[in-house]
Amino acid sequence: MMMMMMMMMMMVMMMMMMMMMVMMMMMMMMMMMMMMMMIMVMMIRMMMMMMVVVVVAVVTAAKVVIMMNIVKKCI
């Protein structure tokens, strides 16, 4: 009888350990997903900022080119 009880306890402990491991794995996966989402958002923000900077640079360059053409024409 005692042996059976011990075996049952061991089985329950093993099951609990397995459940804990699964929960830990799930938590880790969730954390990783959250991190990936955060990184994606940051990357999108960075891309948007870069796009804005590029647009501004292009506009300024175009303005400078137009001004140079006008100056050349005047000269």
pLDDT digits (tens, 9 = 90+) for 19-70: 888 988 888 888 888 888 888 888 888 888 888 888 888 889 888 888 888 8
Distance, in Å, from the CA atom of 45 to the CA atom of 43, rounded to the nearest integer, reads 5
pLDDT at 1 over 80: no
φ/ψ of residue 10, rounded to 5: -60, -45
Distance, in Å, from the CA atom of 10 to the CA atom of 62, rounded to the nearest integer, reads 76
Distance, in Å, from the CA atom of 49 to the CA atom of 66, rounded to the nearest integer, reads 26
Q: In the prediction, which pLDDT does 71 show?
A: 83
Query: Helix, strand or coil for residue 23?
Result: helix
Distance, in Å, from the CA atom of 54 to the CA atom of 60, rounded to the nearest integer, reads 10
- In the Cβ-directed half-sphere of 4, how many Cα atoms lie within 13 Å? 1
pLDDT at 75 over 70: no
Average pLDDT rounded to a whole number, residues 7-25? 88
Q: In the prediction, which pLDDT does 7 show?
A: 84
